[in-house]
Amino acid sequence: MDRWSDVNGIYQIYPRSFMDTNGDGTGDISGIIKKLDYIKGGESSLGVDAIWLSPFYTSPMVDGGYDVSDYCGVDPLFGTLADFKRLLDEAHRRQIRVMIDFVPNHTSDMHPWFKQSASSRDNSQRDWYIWRDANPDGSEPNNWLSVAGGSAWQYDAKTNQYYLHSFLKEQPDLNWDNLEVRQAMKAVIDFWLSMGVDGFRVDAVRWMAKDRSFTDNLPNPNYRVGQDDPYHSQIHTRVGSADQLRTYLGDIAATVEQYDDCIIIFEDYPDFSGVTLEERYRPYLELYDINPRVAMPFNFEGMFTAFRATSFRDFVGTIQSLLTDERIPVYCLGNHDQSRLVSRFGQQQARLIAMMQLTLPGLPVMYYGDELGMSDGHIKNELIQDSFEKNNPGASIGRDPERTPMQWSRDVSAGFTKGVPWLPLPTELQDKTVADQQTDRTSFFALYKNILALRSSTSALRRGAYETSGTNNEHIFSYKRSDKDYVFIVALNFSDQTAECQISEPNLDIIAATSQPISMIDEHTVSLRPYQGIVMARRA
Ligand code: BGC
């Protein structure tokens, strides 16, 4: 099986929305197995070498499974542990690596650990979570806010204390300073890695490290009332201490390193108070430079970058210049928490972004359905599922729109389920289905498939050098990727106008384009149509 260094990318599957085999309207593990040939192995497969599964663990599903009540169990909604083992075998048989989610910061309030902890002040697991008295004036222990809206403290009448929840109140935060917690979590990691999983995406890592003084957060002077997420009304400097994170995550990485060729990817976002990209990313990359042999942070900057050649060039250039030696960048532009690529950027623009993502160094992480150009769903109020939205109506922090079911075909419910889908599908699927796009050489799917195939066939795109090359101006972002075997030139026109691009390398063949036709003016000049991107190559 390929090593991680050969992997062309990671495809995120949100299990609830991928494929339902038992007609309950929710995707399941058997559904993922059924669709593995779509991912890799067949003539019309996407051809991606690794999948990451969002949580399928036992859970009351208050936060879509990120509220875990048994880290080593599979929720009946998704199947059984035997199903998961079958998935692992079937994936590995097709040379697909399997990464799973690890949610260390919090459990569900239904987890037996929390039930014990909440049972009395002197329970032996009391200190596994973060309990505090009210202030002398009766107010909450401090002013910390929950990412899911409102206060981060929940009062427990039985023991007359508050517990901390950085997300929903049903997701109490674990106390990572407690050694028993760390040992219990190490056992969870060992459980899955010894079964054969190939790595973890590690959820919400910043919140694991709380300022032990528990002092108030300061207000954010740049907060725009009514416009920004209320969570950003404060500067959250009381989480994410480097010392603590190094200890907790270093331990996790050390455990992972004991297994052959397994990796972990940390989920976090840089501190947005930094003004320049470098001010934001230098500390971020340093913070997570914990054990680069096995551990690396996500890089989500592209999700918030304005659609301009200059912005993307600065962003990629900054990241690449800050990475040292063998550090592997993880460019991720879409996931289950963010509006979809097409909805954020537009149809043509999303194709350009896809071409960019799949021709940059490192491990690109793609979100299911983006390879079809799926857009955000419209969810009527009565169908809202996400507690973030239910608890904060109108705050626009709900994530259902980007979690709608995969669109397999034009059958009822897009071939996703024979039952009632847990989130609605668009009434008009048009050609945004796998069945339509697998047979269309100009489709979104074909674009992803072609570039993924290129990425597999040469290490130049995965691990080769990156430098800007040829025309780079306000319209065009153009770069060279190369190693001892191949030279690639990628030229991307971010503007809505035709733009001329100089190509600095000789003897190139055009091997991929986001749209046709391609107008070569001469060997060194191409006229790129609005939002057109091309990839050219030659042997080195
Ligand atoms: C996940 C979210 C989840 C949160 C709490 C994240 O960052 O991606 O979906 O709600 O952590 O676990």
Taken in order 442, 447, 451, 454, is the CA torsion positive or negative?
negative
Reported as a pLDDT band with limits 50, 70 and 90, residue 81 is very high
Nearest residue by C-alpha to atom 11 in ligand 1: 204
Q: What is the pLDDT of residue 275?
A: 80
Give the position, in ligand 1's atom list, of the atom nearest the Cα of 168: 5
Cα-to-centroid distance, 497 and ligand 1 (Å): 39
**pLDDT higher than 70, residue 400:** yes
pLDDT at 271: 76
Say what the pLDDT of residue 417 is: 98
CA 91 to chain CA centroid, nearest Å: 20
CA of 482 to the centre of ligand 1 (A): 36
Give pTM, 2 decimals: 0.97
In this predicted structure, what is the pLDDT of residue 227?
86
Ligand 1 centroid – CA 259 distance (Å): 26
**How much distance in Å is there from the Cα of 203 to the middle of ligand 1?**
6
Confidence check: pLDDT of 505 > 60: yes
From atom 12 of ligand 1, which residue's Cα is the shortest distance away? 66
* Whether pLDDT at 325 is above 90: no
Determine the Cα–Cα distance for residues 292 and 323; give it in Å rounded to an integer.
Answer: 11
Task: Kindly state the average pLDDT of the residues 387-412.
Answer: 93
Report the atom number in ligand 1 closest to the C-alpha of 103.
Answer: 12
d(CA 393, CA 413): 27
Q: Is the dihedral of CA 492, 498, 504, 505 positive or negative?
A: positive
Maximum distance among all alpha carbons in the chain? 79
Q: How many CB atoms lie within 10 A of CB 286?
A: 11
Question: For residue 398, how many other CB atoms are within 10 A of its CB?
Answer: 20
Q: Which amino acid is at 38?
A: Y
Question: DSSP state, 77?
Answer: T
What's the token pair of residue 183? 């040992």
- Our mutation pick for probing the ligand 1 site, out of 337, 386, 388, 403, counting the most ligand atoms within 8 A of Cβ, is 337
Mutate to test the pocket of ligand 1, among 103, 164, 167, 403 (most ligand atoms within 8 A of CB): 167
Does a cis peptide bond (omega within 30 degrees of 0) precede residue 401? no
Summarised one tens digit per residue, pLDDT across range 348-367 is 999 999 999 999 999 999 99
Q: 213: exposed, middle or buried (C-beta count within 10 Å: 0-12, 13-18, 19+)?
A: exposed
pLDDT tens digits, one per residue of 280-299: 999 999 999 999 999 999 99
User: Can you give the three-state secondary structure of 80-140, one letter per residue?
Assistant: CHHHHHHHHHHHHHCCCEEEEEECCCECCCCCHHHHHHHHCCCCCCHHHECEECCCCCCCC
Residues 6+ apart with CB under 8 A from 171: 62, 63, 66, 67, 106, 107, 108, 109, 148, 165
The least confident of 41-45, 69-73, 295-299 is 41-45
Return the pLDDT at 274. Answer: 66
Ligand 1 center from residue 420 Cα (angstroms)? 26
- Look over the chain and give the mean of its residue pLDDT values, rounded to a whole number: 96
Judged against a pLDDT cut of 90, whether residue 272 lies above it is answered with no
Asked whether residue 155 carries a pLDDT value surpassing 70, the answer given is: yes
Is 371 part of the annotated catalytic residue set?
no
Atom 7, ligand 1: which residue's CA is nearest?
204
How high is the pLDDT of residue 490? Answer: 98
Q: What burial class does residue 8 get, using C-beta atoms within 10 Å of its C-beta: 0-12 exposed, 13-18 middle, 19+ buried?
A: buried
449 C-alpha to ligand 1 centroid (Å): 29
Atom of ligand 1 nearest to the CA of 388: 10
As a 3-state breakdown, the chain gives helix, strand, coil percent values, each rounded to 5, of 30, 20, 50
The number of the ligand 1 atom at minimal distance from the alpha carbon of 335 is 8
CA–CA distance, 181 with 222 (Å, rounded to integer): 37
Residues above pLDDT 70, as percent of the chain: 99
pLDDT per position as a tens digit, 481-497: 999 999 999 999 999 99
The two three-digit tokens of residue 462, written as one number: 């995965």
pLDDT of residue 158: 98
User: Atom 1 of ligand 1 has which residue's CA nearest to it?
Assistant: 203
Out of 16, 53, 56, 63, mutate this one to test ligand 1's pocket (max ligand atoms within 8 Å of CB): namely 63
Question: Which residue owns the Cα nearest ligand 1 atom 2?
Answer: 337
User: What's the rounded Cα separation, in Å, for the pair 131 and 327?
Assistant: 38
* Top mutation candidate among 109, 169, 170, 203 for ligand 1, by most atoms within 8 Å of CB: 203
Distance from the alpha carbon of residue 204 to the mean position of ligand 1, in angstroms: 6
Instruction: Enumerate residues lining ligand 1, CB below 6 A.
Output: 63, 66, 103, 167, 203-204, 267, 336-337
Question: Which residue in the list 28, 49, 75, 203 is annotated as catalytic?
Answer: 203
54 alpha carbon to ligand 1 midpoint, in Å? 10
- At residue 1, the pLDDT reads 55
Two tokens, residue 413: 């419910």
- For 201, residues 6+ apart whose C-beta sits below 8 A from its C-beta are 52, 99, 100, 101, 102, 264, 265, 267
Pick from 306, 283, 292, 287: nearest CA to 263: 292
* 127 counts as catalytic: no
Q: What is the mean pLDDT of residues 135-160?
A: 96
How far is it, in rounded angstroms, from Cα 71 to Cα 57? 6
- What confidence score (pLDDT) does residue 433 get? 98
Cβ-contact 47, 401 below 8 angstroms:
no
Residue-level pLDDT at 397: 86
Ligand 1 atom having least distance to the Cα of 166: 5
pLDDT in tens, 221-237: 989 988 888 899 999 88
Active-site hit among 20, 173, 267, 268: 267
Q: What is the model's pLDDT at position 273?
A: 65
